[in-house]
Amino acid sequence: MHLLFLLLNAIFSRVCAQLYTPTSTNDDGDVTQPGPCPGFLPSFPDFEFPHLMIPISSSNPGTAFPNTDTPYITAADIEMIFNFDIPMSRKGQTCNVEFLLPNKTELSTSSFELAGINGTYVFSLSMLGVGAVEGNTTYNNQPLQANPHGLPKTIHMQPGHAYEIGSTICVPGRISMTMSSPDSSLTWFQDWNQCAIGLFITYSL
C-alpha cells in the first residue's frame, strides 16, 4: 500500500509539473499596474473567490479551525489553505493565481494588518482535486502537496503591489493553495470590491 501511495503521488506530481508554470515578470512575481489599485480583477465570472479558507497551526497541530472570511498568517505557525473550485466551462483556459495587496488608503470595504521583518510569504500547491475540509483539516492531516517546478514560491510582499504566483491550464475540479510565512504576520478581509485584496484565480483564454 505504501508503494502504491508513492507511485500515485509521483504520477500526480508529474501531471502538475506539466500543467503549472510560474509566469511572474520577475523573481518576486510583482505585476503591479499603474492606477488607483495595484491590480484589477476582471469582471465576474472571470475570476474565482476562494470557496473555503481554513487556517492550520503547527503549534496546535490537531486543531481543526473553522472557515473564515478574514484569513490570517502568523510567523512560523498559522498557515492558510485556500480552496478554489474550477467549473467545467473553464476547461482548457488559463487559470492565473494572484495575490493583491493594495495600500490601506485604497481600500473602502476591507483592511489588513501586516507585521514582520521581511514580509516573506510562501505559496504551495496541493495535489489536484484535494483541499481543505471544514471541521476536519488540521496541520497534521493537511492536503498532500504536489509542488511542481517553481513551487513552493517565496514572495516578499509589500502593500501597494500585486503579485502573480503562477498560471496553469484549467482542469475542472479543485485547486488548493497554502500560504505561510517564516517571518511575518498578515491578516486581511478577503474582498473583491473596488481594490480587491487577497488570493484569487483569474481566467484567460
Helix or strand holding residue 162 (H, E) = strand 161-169
- Reported as a single tens digit per residue, the pLDDT across 9-60 is 333 333 333 333 334 444 679 999 999 999 999 999 999 999 999 999 999 9
**140-145, long-range: CB within 8 Å, 24+ apart, which pairs?**
140/61, 140/62, 142/56, 142/81, 142/178, 143/81, 143/176, 143/178, 144/9, 145/178
Q: Where are the domains of the chain?
A: 2-204
Q: What is the pLDDT of residue 151?
A: 85
pTM, two decimal places: 0.86
- Inform me whether the pLDDT recorded for 99 exceeds 80: yes
Closest CA to 179 of 125, 134, 112: 125
The torsion of the CA quartet 111, 26, 204, 186, rounded to 10 degrees, works out to -20
Q: What is the pLDDT of residue 148?
A: 73
Residues whose CB is less than 8 angstroms from the CB of residue 59 and which lie 6 or more positions away in sequence, other chains included: 77
- Reported as a single tens digit per residue, the pLDDT across 60-96 is 999 999 999 999 999 999 999 999 999 999 999 999 9
Cα separation, 195 vs 41, whole angstroms: 9
Q: What is the pLDDT of residue 147?
A: 75
- Reported as a single tens digit per residue, the pLDDT across 145-199 is 987 767 899 999 999 999 999 988 899 999 999 999 999 999 999 999 989 999 9
Q: What is the pLDDT of residue 13?
A: 35
Q: What is the pLDDT of residue 168?
A: 85
